[in-house]
Amino acid sequence: MSLTLVGIIGIGILLFILLFLGMPVGFTMGVVGFGGICLVISYKAALGMLGTELWNTFSSYSLTMVPLFVFMGEICFYSGLNRRLFKATHTLTGHVRGGLAMATVFACAGFAAICGSNTATAATMTAVALPEMEKYKYNPALSTGAIACGSTLGVVIPPSVVLIIIGLYTGQSITKLFYGGIFAGLVLATLFMVTIVILCVIHPEWSPAGTKKSLTEKIRSLPGFIEALVLFLLVMIGLYMGIFTPTEAGAIGSLCALLMSVVRRRLSWEGFTSAITDTLQISCMVLVIIGGAVIFSRFLAVTRIPFDIADWVSGLPVPPAAILTIIFVIYIIGGALMDALALLLITIPIFFPVAMKLGYDPIWFGVMITVITTLGAVTPPVGATTYVVAGMAKNVPLGSVFKGVTYFLPAYIISVAVLMLFPEIITFLPNLIR
């Protein structure tokens, strides 16, 4: 049996176990990679690799940035920063028609700038923004759709765990990926706002205007922005100036978030311990997937399948843009079936060499697949963020939440098209970094 065939069978078994056995993604990749190396090299080699690869992954200095950035987001979450962000944006835009929905998207974008968790953002925004929108008789589909889609910005706007993992996995600069994600996230957020404006024009009764707040109230709400802005700028400027590494940025961001929360008496001891426990669980989940992906990619590398596919695809008599579009469609379908991080770790060893062979910019490609896979967080059948919103919004049926999400789907599609047509939107800032 040729190595290429073994590789293809390995990928087939991986997908079968994932879809039909429901085994956790990290375990599956580890098991299939281990089995594959047993078959291709030897049982002894596979066993030896198991212990050392797991140790090398877990003890990697680069990967320590994962728990540190997650910790920063969790501290902000438990100190109620996203609640304050929503209150601040609500105070400024609540009196405009559709203003509460826009405030929700803006608060989601702001919280995304310090926390990479979709579900944490979705849960808090549902708890905070939905009652407010219900009070003003907003259409339930519009309000829940805005929350679910706004929450997905967390993965695109830096710092984002998904961008970190793409950077580490493909050997690209994490700082450049972070900077590439800024405008991509802003394009998406802007298109969400445009969607809300259009819906307000078509259905004025869906989003009545709220009461206008006094200037004093507006000024009083400003600290809600300042905390998030300080943390975001601290991390991004520090990285841009080369003052600290991404890992150190995560540590400094965590420490600053902790100090701000403690000084302003926003974080209880229970909140602090919960932030630690959640950080440990999320980081462990991410690192197990990476550990499994490393073992699986070792197997793929032995079979040379990623390189064979890259050579084969680049030799096809089809324009590169068509091949890229097919790859993106695969990501859209895959994103609807499984978690974004898992999907990226399975597919990057196969599609990243193809994109490079076709001559695309690695930073642009990394950010693009991040934007595309976020779509899967709100679309059925997986749509984890949508389920979180529907689970918390007791008065809104799941069908209405999915209906609300569909209003925002054109925004995703247009943003992908815009970012494909004008790649400079993504590459402009990273190219400024030396």
Partner 1 sequence: MEKVIEHLDRAVIVVNRGLIAIAGFLLVAMMVLACANVFFRTVWVPVKGTFELMGFFGAIVAAFALGRTQMKKEHIAVDVLILKFPRGVRLVLSGINYLVGMIFFSLAGWQAVKYGNNLWRVNELSETLRIVYFPFVYGVALGCGVISLVLLVDLIKLINNGNEVPR
Which whole-number Å values give the CA distances from 235 to 79, 125, 262, in the listed order? 19, 24, 20
Does position 243 interact with partner 1 (CB under 8 A)? The reply is yes
Q: Nearest distance from residue 423's CB to partner 1, in Å?
A: 31
Supply 422's token pair: 């004008």
For the window 248-287, what string marks contact with partner 1 as x by the rule CB under 8 A?
x-xxx-xx--x--------------x--xx-xxxxxxx-x
Phi, psi of 243, deg, nearest 5 = -70, -40
Looking only at residues 4 through 23 of this chain, which bind partner 1 when binding is defined by CB under 8 A? 18-23
CA R_g for the chain:
22
**Nearer to partner 1 (CB atom), residue 50 or residue 127:** 50
CB 374 within 8 A of CB 152: yes
Closest C-alpha to 393, from 208, 147, 212:
147
Which whole-number Å values give the CA distances from 363 to 32, 125, 178, 220, 359, in the listed order? 29, 31, 9, 40, 12
DSSP 64: G
CB 310 within 8 A of CB 357: yes
Which whole-number Å values give the CA distances from 416 to 25, 177, 304, 360, in the listed order? 27, 17, 31, 15
Choose, by CB under 8 A, the member of 6, 50, 209, 230 that binds partner 1. 50
Does position 24 interact with partner 1 (CB under 8 A)? The reply is yes
Alpha-carbon distance 63 to 226, whole Å?
29
Stretch that binds partner 1, among 6-14, 61-69, 160-168, 171-179 (CB under 8 A): 61-69
Helix (H) or strand (E) holding 93: helix 81-93
Q: Nearest distance from residue 40's CB to partner 1, in Å?
A: 18
Does position 332 interact with partner 1 (CB under 8 A)? The reply is no
Which whole-number Å values give the CA distances from 67 to 207, 242, 281, in the listed order? 39, 21, 9
Looking only at residues 374 through 403 of this chain, which bind partner 1 when binding is defined by CB under 8 A? 381-382
Q: Nearest distance from residue 63's CB to partner 1, in Å?
A: 6
| Binding footprint of partner 1, residue count (CB under 8 A) | 59
Does position 48 interact with partner 1 (CB under 8 A)? The reply is yes
Supply 235's token pair: 């991390």
Choose, by CB under 8 A, the member of 2, 51, 216, 359 that binds partner 1. 51
Q: Nearest distance from residue 137's CB to partner 1, in Å?
A: 35
Does position 366 interact with partner 1 (CB under 8 A)? The reply is no
Q: Nearest distance from residue 382's CB to partner 1, in Å?
A: 6
**Nearer to partner 1 (CB atom), residue 376 or residue 423:** 376
Choose, by CB under 8 A, the member of 11, 14, 25, 429 that binds partner 1. 25
CB 430 within 8 A of CB 188: no
Binding residues for partner 1 (CB under 8 A): 18-27, 30-31, 34, 47-48, 50-52, 54-55, 58-61, 63-64, 67-68, 71, 243-244, 247-248, 250-252, 254-255, 258, 273, 276-277, 279-285, 287-289, 337-339, 341-342, 381-382
